[in-house]
Structure 1
């Protein structure tokens, strides 16, 4: 299991679910707030935002099974269907009463599945550059899906070079060396390398296809935030998603790519605080 990422929170608690260890932590005071990360990321991306909001909310951070500090056993599925079930079970374990949820990338589909398919209630939902509508996935995804075993056996330096290049493509402004190091750290060792290609191999649009007809049924306050320069999931999806949700609000963040947390931290932090305080005050 990977150690905690440099500069990130210590996920000092474990929830055992179907043989998996899900690493998590919680801190702060106030209404519950849960952050959901995406792929190939971890809770490290959300850590600064969680710390900033912990003066007003009790924040929960977790790494999906197969990611970050959570277990990466090769026999365990890590597809979006599994992750949605895992999140629903984790919410039950935490015994939260309708938390606010902020989700990025895959975390969007995971949180939507837990809400729409598994009946977990939310106080609000903020969807940040999320996987929710087809099509998604890149040519690289397709190539890896067809040859996951081969990619899993790449020499470590070749794997690391490909991984760093892939991660760098998610940022608009460019990553600092310490950011790149933190993002790739969970995938560097032998278990991490295999897990990295396994999660791509199990990506399947059917898990979002199941959600698309249900998006209009969401009644909790929902907000969409997107980086205008996102090349992984282009910004036109923001308006498409908002329309599918019944016309919810949208904020486009300039000079930000898919890694909006790193590209535009001040703008994103301001937007999240504005949104969360507004919906909490309206409860």
Structure 2
């Protein structure tokens, strides 16, 4: 999919792409990922749906200005601005990782109406964050000064740990590439340092207000965020379903692509009547 759209928002450049026709489906990525993880799924659905992908500021191909905050609150404001710019009427939203908290905040705090919400292995409620995450939060300035070859090794190991299966070298290289170089290295540690669990607590307190179809999908082998968190999230949302995906870790898009694509199509068939 071509990411040929760009929204200018408060000095940021947010890159996005659109394809297909039919009911709107918007994909939200997480950290340290980008829209690239969702592009194959969006492409597959574009025959029946109008699909949108976007890179959050600080990620992927969007701007990475060190002066711009990249916390949950800002990203939810960006997502709200994007949806309004696209003039979408109650889109179906699909979120992974950090995108869960962002999409929840956009609807629960900013009042953006959705038709449905599917959340896969999301950062949405506390507690969250790996030991590495906590280390970065305590020493963001030190780690951002690592020699480039050490930094690259750290990022590759960290990203690799998100998958239950060994990643193909081409996929690992593609996921690592945005975080290399002076700009990428700084952005990598800034987005972790910006993590604020207070936003997750705020989301959790409002989950009972969700009145749309919601499904939660979770890899049973997620080493970053345990299945128990997904079970607690689904239990807190009125009427939510939980689907467990065996032999899948946090990078469910790469661990179980066929199962996830099948779940997405089945879910959208039910909630969009397609």
Could you say which residue in structure 2 is the equivalent of 1:256? 248
Q: Which residue of structure 2 lines up, in the alignment, with residue 3 of structure 1? A: none
Residues 34-81 of structure 1: per-residue CA shift (max 9 Å, x gap):
000000000000010000000010000000000000000000000001
* Other-structure match for 2:156: 164
Equivalent in 252, 258, 271 of residue 266 of structure 1: 258
Distance 1:16 1:50 in 2: 23
Cα deviations by residue, 1:10-35 (Å, 9 ceiling, x for unpaired): 31111001100000010101110000
Q: Where does structure 1 differ by over 2 angstroms across 4 or more consecutive aligned residues? A: none
Structure 1 unaligned residues grouped into runs of 5+: 1-8
Find the counterpart in structure 2 of residue 17 from structure 1. 9
What SS does the corresponding residue of 1:84 show, helix, strand or coil?
helix
Shift of 1:161: 0.2
Q: Deviations over 1:163-189 (max 9, x none)?
A: 000000000011000000110111111
Q: 1:4-153 residue pairs with structure 2 within 5 A?
A: 9-153=1-145
DSSP-derived class of the 1:75 partner? coil
Cα distance in 1, alignment partners of residues 30 and 115 from structure 2: 21
Q: CA deviation at 1:149?
A: 1.1
Counterpart CA distance in 1 for 2:152 and 2:89 is 41
TM value normalised by structure 2: 0.99
SS of residue in 2 equivalent to 1:23: strand
Distance 1:260 1:152 in 2: 28
Q: Deviations over 1:200-243 (max 9, x none)?
A: 00101001111111101100111110001001011111221111
Matched ranges for 1:238-249 at <5 A: 238-249=230-241
Tell me the CA shift for residue 93 of structure 1.
0.6
| 1:246 CA drift (Å) | 2.1
2:271 to 257, 269, 279: 279
Once the two structures are TM-superposed, the CA of residue 247 in structure 1 deviates from its matched residue by: 4.0
Report the counterpart of residue 224 of structure 1 in structure 2: 216
5+ residue gaps in structure 2?
A: none
Moved more, 255-264 or 133-142: 133-142
Once the 2 structures are TM-superposed, how far is the Cα of residue 116 of structure 1 from its aligned partner?
A: 0.3
Distance in 2 separating the partners of 1:140 and 1:107: 20
Distance 1:236 1:135 in 2: 11
* Aligned position for 1:4: none
Q: Which residue of 1 aligns with 2:185?
A: 193
For the residues of structure 2 that align with 1:36 and 1:163, how far apart are their CA atoms? Answer: 21
